[in-house]
Amino acid sequence: MARIARAWALSIARAWALSIAVAAAILTGCSVAPADTPGSPRASDQATASASDTTGPYPVTEVVDGDTIKVSRGGQTVKVRLIGMDTPETRDPRKPVQCFGREASAVAHRLLDGQQVRLETDPSQDRYDRYGRLLAYVWLPGDPPVLFNQLMIRLGYAHEYTYDLPYRYQEQFRAAQRAAEQRDAGLWNPATCAGDTARPAANPTTG
């Protein structure tokens, strides 16, 4: 059993390290895979936005979890719920920490801590959710800028999530999820959650 546990932990560690390397390569504008590699995104699957579509930049003051952040805007702290994605729960007092929630939150911290981000709202969605959080897409600095929401889905740290009505980048986000599933990336890997993040996370002190 100990040997199985060690192998399982090693496979997760390798997948996590690969995802971080891919994210870093994307943010620095490097190519991470040939265009014909299975699961690699096509140019048409990449979300793009013009400067007129976004506001900011705003400093990230807190990463709450994988799909919620706080930014400073005009001297006020604004809580932002990211559109079109959902990461496993880590902070909901009504639920246990869900499978791959810690990993998703850790990657969000790696990518967003200390960053200046641009925000993009979507007229097809409400401006705020029922908890008073601003609903937005979060753009990371880069040339071109990188849509954090889509990146988390592509790396396998988030599910595509449509709350009610279709949103601006729904097609691209669903393509990103298909690519992640094809690669068994992150939460889709049989060694992690096999796509079922509703189940509780493994105890980090065991194995």
Q: Which residues are catalytic?
A: 81, 89, 133
Which residue has tokens 């509780």?
A: 200
Are the C-beta atoms of residues 70 and 78 closer than 8 Å to each other?
A: yes
What is the residue whose two structure tokens read 């009610």?
164
Comparing C-alpha atoms, which of 13, 11, 15 is closest to residue 23? 15
Pairing of strands 85-86, 146-147: unpaired
84-120 b/e (C-beta count within 10 Å ≥ 16 → b): bbbbbbbeeeeeebbbbbbbbbbbbeebbeebebbbb
CA distance 62 to 84: 20
